Chains A and B, each alone.
Chain A
Amino acid sequence: MFKIVLKTILTPSVSLMKIYAPNVVKHAKPGQFIVLRTDSDSERIPFTIAEANQDDQTIAIIFQVVGASTLKLNQLKENDYILDFAGPLGKPSQIDGLKKVCVIGGGLGCAIAYPIAKALHNQKTYVHSIIGFRKKELVFLSSEFKDISDCFDLVTDDGSAGKMGLVTTLLKALLDQDNTFDEVFAIGPLVMMKAVSELTKQYGIKTIVSMNPIMIDGTGMCGGCRITVNNKMRFACVDGPEFDGHQVDFDEAILRNKMYESAERKAYDHACHLLKEVQNDQ
């Protein structure tokens, strides 16, 4: 059992949890993930590590309620326990030797982009952060990003916070003004990572994306997380989760993510219904 030592609501649908897990913290590095199971009926769900804190031996995860399983996780409070918590899994981000980097986070992807940006900042890399959300109410980690960035931009689709537009609008403007980067890290929804990768390809800037496909064990056993990279089959859990965005077949990954869409929708509606019944009873 793994204790939740802190829970913070970042936005109405996004929460941060710090979980006491000394074993997992020991070797955890930015870019890696954990797999957890809330209780004995739950799925195994992968979450990228938002922070591995060696001082208090905790792993932080940031998650959005998107389905029945994250809804259940979000019902847990501080001092509650998570049944299973395993990691760190996947390969760490490769950040050695980078001098100037653009880190792009889209929506929940900001939770994954932040520890990478922070690690880059700590090794004195010049960090230009661009974080994007649909609207003001969904913005989180904005001040944290600002603190560790040499240059910081916030964009929203509707302009309700920061500049109006998409992360790619801003990135294109930067690149057209002859800004250049050793590498771009783009982490967010598949469509965003695809758009960033297509853009940077034109400018010849290496781009790393973090894939979060459907998986069960996270150790290479199920092969459910397979994606095509450079025309070869790769398992995101053991070969990734980070890959060269110019080589990833995003269209295929987008289709594969829809495998259980109808089942998930049904499970989520059912869970919401149950939750309402419980609330009505109280």
Chain B
Amino acid sequence: MINKSMIKNHMITQKPEKRIHNYREVSQGYTNEQALDEAKRCLECKNKPCVKGCPVRIDIPGFIHRIVEHDIEGAYQIIRASSLLPAVCGRVCPQETQCEELCVRKLKGESVAIGHLERFVADYHSQNNTDKPIIVPTNGIKIAIVGSGPAGLSCANDLVKKGYQVDIYEALHIPGGVLVYGIPEFRLPKAVVEREISALIKQGVNIYTNVIIGKTLTIDDLFTMGYRAVFLGTGAGLPKFMGIPGEMLNGVYSANEYLTRINLMKAYDGVSKTPIQSAQRVAVIGGGNVALDAARWAKRLGAKTVSIIYRRSRTELPARYEEVVHAEEEGIIFRMQTNLQRIIGDDFGFVKKIQCVEMTLGELDDSGRARPIEKPGSEHFIDVDSVIMAIGTTPNPLISQSTIDLKTNQKGCIITTNNTGLTTKDMVYAGGDVVTGSATVILAMGAGREAAQAIDEKVTSDIFKKPPNI
């Protein structure tokens, strides 16, 4: 029986006035009844348009059908066949521009809440599953994975399942990459990430933290150590600045620094020794998820006013819709069609105020979005004591600088052959943000899987060509 409701079931959330005083997860997930009710909204279309919107092609109507049949574990297995991190993606994927955008229910009302259902299924599984991990006997062939973010984790998962001996090298002291240093606890609890990583370790994957490939060990060292192939999933970790006056003032943070101090180093916690400025009036520059994460943390750390400053209009905000709604509920001010021109400091080198200008929107630019144009005479000042730059990141050059035969493009992204992730260096593969520039968790995961497939095919064909040197 189809549920004809035009609107989605909404997850229970912590009340805004309460949640800005803690850092626990905002959304609490679906109840069993809500999940069943929402699953019944799916029309189970024959041509499955939603699947075309999913970067890893999860059989969406298939898993939703299992929910309707009360077979939640079955639903989980369907998702898991395509996605390594359903509990993560259910929380952080931009579903409204992917699967849910193509949902037929959207023609008349709201789409099926595919993301909420994915999250429900993944959380159900982790609470109820007692399965022992399936350990595939190792084939003795060593593969090195550089970076333990979404790309590296999914590549490792596929390779260990095929019997390879997989070692992950992580530069920081905790594995997880952007899932740990970037995405806040209130949006993605670290326990969820730890669970996924410990599942990999149980399957036999080794993770070595504090190893900076390109510095501690080079790619060539890895081959000398006996690795047959190397996958680079090092992400896009280098923060961009605007090149405007005042960016060197105290109180100006890259979003990376701000979020790393808080998420990775736990500066919000009284026990942690990593300091963070307790700012009262914060301006966050940018309109993506990272900007919203920083703004909402600033609020939770006690800022009285927090503004998002974005050049285009609300409709162009690149952040997930749900996060925009949550941020608004929490009292974040959205100063749209506004651009930062300069940051002004006091005599001691600390941020005092910013000069902004209003923007009008012109014709579409190369990115397909309206080009923002400064409105003459609209310059104005806003008093702030902290400015957080969330205008994007580029790949870290440590590996490309130390590996001469690894080619990058003008933006510093590693050049790869389509669909395989093969770089210009033999037996070195790459995927995720280090190839595409900053994108999404799900795209990085997809790239990790494709590379795992390509590595397996190459290693297998090499073995058939000549006997391995053991």
Chain A residues with CB under 8 Å of chain B are 23-24, 26-27, 37, 41-44, 68-69, 72, 83-89, 216-217, 219-224, 226-228, 233, 238, 252, 255-256, 258-260, 263-264, 267
Q: A residues within 8 A CB of B397?
A: 220, 238
CA distance A264 to B211 in the complex (A): 29
A43 touches B273 (CB 8 A): yes
Known: A238-B397, A255-B250. 12 other contacts (CB 8 A): A24-B216, A27-B218, A41-B271, A43-B265, A87-B212, A219-B171, A219-B237, A220-B238, A220-B398, A223-B241, A233-B241, A259-B251
10 pairs from A and B in contact (CB 8 Å cutoff)? A23-B217, A26-B221, A84-B210, A87-B215, A222-B239, A224-B253, A233-B243, A256-B349, A258-B250, A259-B250
Q: A residues within 8 A CB of B272?
A: 41
The smallest C-beta distance from A81 to any residue of chain B, in angstroms, reads 13
A86 touches B217 (CB 8 A): no
CA distance A72 to B251 in the complex (A): 27
CA distance A216 to B265 in the complex (A): 9
A68 touches B247 (CB 8 A): no
B173 touches A86 (CB 8 A): yes
The smallest C-beta distance from B350 to any residue of chain A, in angstroms, reads 8
Chain B residues with CB under 8 Å of chain A are 171-173, 181, 209-212, 215-218, 221, 237-239, 241, 243, 247-248, 250-251, 253-254, 256-257, 260-261, 264-265, 271-275, 277, 348-349, 396-398
B265 touches A44 (CB 8 A): yes
Q: B residues within 8 A CB of A84?
A: 173, 209-210
The 4 closest A-B pairs by CB, nearest first: A255-B349, A222-B257, A223-B254, A86-B210
Which of B211, B254, B264, B277 has a CB less than 8 Å from the CB of A23?
Answer: B211
Which of A69, A221, A259 has a CB less than 8 Å from the CB of B237?
Answer: A221
The smallest C-beta distance from A125 to any residue of chain B, in angstroms, reads 26
Q: B residues within 8 A CB of A44?
A: 173, 265, 274
Output the residue of B260, B264, B275, B349 with the most chain A CB within 10 A.
B275
Closest chain B residue to A264, Cβ basis:
B275
Which of A27, A87, A223 has a CB less than 8 Å from the CB of B239?
Answer: A223
CA distance A238 to B397 in the complex (A): 9
Output the residue of A222, A252, A267 with the most chain B CB within 10 A.
A222
CA distance A226 to B243 in the complex (A): 12
A223 touches B216 (CB 8 A): no
CA distance A27 to B216 in the complex (A): 7
Q: B residues within 8 A CB of A42?
A: 273
Q: A residues within 8 A CB of B396?
A: 219-221
B216 touches A88 (CB 8 A): yes
Q: B residues within 8 A CB of A233?
A: 241, 243, 247-248
Closest chain A residue to B261, Cβ basis:
A216
CA distance A83 to B173 in the complex (A): 9
Which of A26, A221, A260 has a CB less than 8 Å from the CB of B238?
Answer: A221
Output the residue of A68, A255, A260 with the most chain B CB within 10 A.
A255
A86 touches B238 (CB 8 A): no
CA distance A44 to B273 in the complex (A): 9
CA distance A37 to B174 in the complex (A): 12
Which of B218, B243, B261, B275 has a CB less than 8 Å from the CB of A267?
Answer: B275
Q: B residues within 8 A CB of A26?
A: 216-217, 221
A226 touches B248 (CB 8 A): yes
Q: B residues within 8 A CB of A263?
A: 275
Q: A residues within 8 A CB of B250?
A: 255-256, 258-259
The smallest C-beta distance from A59 to any residue of chain B, in angstroms, reads 12
CA distance A17 to B215 in the complex (A): 22
Q: A residues within 8 A CB of B239?
A: 221-223
Q: A44-B265, A228-B248 are in contact. Are A219 and B273 (CB under 8 A)?
A: no
Closest chain B residue to A232, Cβ basis:
B243
Closest chain B residue to A38, Cβ basis:
B273
Which of A88, A221, A256 has a CB less than 8 Å from the CB of B256?
Answer: A221
Q: A residues within 8 A CB of B265?
A: 43-44, 216
Which of B173, B247, B271, B275 has a CB less than 8 Å from the CB of A37?
Answer: B173
CA distance A238 to B215 in the complex (A): 11
B260 touches A217 (CB 8 A): yes
CA distance A226 to B238 in the complex (A): 12
Which of B209, B221, B237 has a CB less than 8 Å from the CB of A220?
Answer: B237
Q: B residues within 8 A CB of A89?
A: 212, 215
Q: B residues within 8 A CB of A228?
A: 248
Which of A27, A68, A216, A224 has a CB less than 8 Å from the CB of B215?
Answer: A27
CA distance A64 to B273 in the complex (A): 18
Closest chain B residue to A91, Cβ basis:
B401
B216 touches A23 (CB 8 A): yes
Closest chain A residue to B248, Cβ basis:
A252
A219 touches B212 (CB 8 A): yes
B172 touches A217 (CB 8 A): yes
CA distance A69 to B275 in the complex (A): 11
CA distance A220 to B399 in the complex (A): 12
Which of A222, A224, A238, A252 has a CB less than 8 Å from the CB of B398?
Answer: A238
Which of A72, A222, A258 has a CB less than 8 Å from the CB of B254?
Answer: A222
The smallest C-beta distance from A3 to any residue of chain B, in angstroms, reads 14
Q: A residues within 8 A CB of B215?
A: 27, 87-89, 219
Which of A86, A87, A256 has a CB less than 8 Å from the CB of B248?
Answer: A256
A87 touches B273 (CB 8 A): no
Closest chain B residue to A2, Cβ basis:
B210
A216 touches B257 (CB 8 A): yes
Q: A residues within 8 A CB of B217?
A: 23, 26-27
B260 touches A87 (CB 8 A): no
Q: A residues within 8 A CB of B253?
A: 224
CA distance A126 to B221 in the complex (A): 35
CA distance A252 to B350 in the complex (A): 11
Q: A residues within 8 A CB of B275?
A: 260, 263-264, 267
